[in-house]
Amino acid sequence: MASPLVVLTDFYAVTNSALAYAAGLALPLQAELVLLHARYDALLAPIDDPAYVPVDALATEQALQQLAATQPVSTQVEISERELPEAVRAALLHHAPLLLVLGPPGGASTPLEVMIDTAKTLLSTVPYPLLLVPAIGQQAVPPRRLLLAVDGQPFELHQYQDIIRQLLSVSGGGTLNVVRVADSSHPRLGADTILETLAANNLADEAAFDQVSEVADLSAVDGVLAEAARQQADLLIVIARRHSLLGSLFHHSVTGQFIERSLIPVLVLPAID
C-alpha cells in the first residue's frame, strides 16, 4: 500500500473540495487518508469566523470520525492541540505521507487569504509536497494531463518525492508536459537543456522532447497558467526553491497567486536548496 495522504481539514470539511479530491486520488493509489485537524489554528479551526462555534474535543472527534467513515478508503482522524506547523511535523514523522492536501476554507466568511498564508507558512517552515485544491470546478481524479513548471535550472527533489511517477502510474495513460517561462532576463534555453534539468530526478524519460514548451511572458504566473489552459492540463506541478524564477514562491507571493488564480489543483514540490 502507498504512503497515506494527510488532509488538513477545517471544521467545515464536509464542504471542502480538497477532501473529495484527496479521496479520489487515494483510491487508485491504494493509499489511506489521514484527516488532520488543528483545533486552534486560524484555518483549521477558524475562531474569527462568526459562523464557527467551538465544540469540545470529544464532539470534534465524533464529527470527524463520522466524516472519515464516509470516505471510500481507510481514513484515520488526528486532532492536535498544537499550532499547525508543529501538528504537521508530528504527522510527517508518524505517517511519512505521500503529500499534504490543503483546500480553501469551508466557512463562507473565512477569506481565501487564510489558505494562502497557511500554504506559505507550511512551505517555509515544514517544506513538504503540498497539494492545493481550488474550490471551483469539477477536478479530474486521478489527473491525466500533468504540467510541470520549471525555471530551466538544475534542481534536486527530496528522495521521498516520487509523486509524479506514482500519479502517472495510476492515471491510465497520463502525460507529463513541461513548461518554462522566458523573459528579458531569462532567455530561451531549448528543450534539450530543459530536459537535462529533469535528468537528476529521473524525470527526463517521463517528458518527451516535443512535450517541452517555452513561453514568453513578463510574469511567470501568467505564462504558466496560460500554458496550463492551452494544454487543458488538470494538474499543475511547481518546483519550489528559494533562489529561482519560480522559487520566489517562498518570497514574493507567487504561491498566493497560483492558489488564488489557478482553476486546477497545484502540487508544490520543494527542492533541495
The reply to whether 169 and 233 lie within a common domain is yes
Q: Residue 195 belongs to a domain with what CATH number?
A: 3.40.50.620
Domain membership flag for residue 137: no
Could you read off the pLDDT of 44-73 as tens digits, one per residue?
666 666 666 666 778 788 888 998 999 999
Output the CA angle 219-148-13, nearest 5 degrees. 95
The reply to whether 176 and 76 lie within a common domain is no
- Name the domain boundary from 132, 157, 191: 132
Could you read off the pLDDT of 202-244 as tens digits, one per residue?
776 666 656 888 888 878 889 999 999 999 999 999 888 765 5
The pTM (predicted TM-score) of the whole model is: 0.89
CB atoms within 10 A of CB 254: 21
Residues in the chain, pLDDT under 50: 250
Q: By residue range, what is the domain housing residue 222? A: 145-270
The length of the chain in residues reads: 273
CB burial string 57-81: b at 16+ within 10 A, e below: eeebeebbeebbeebebebbbbbbe
Domain membership flag for residue 138: no
Task: Read off the amino acid at residue 248.
Answer: S
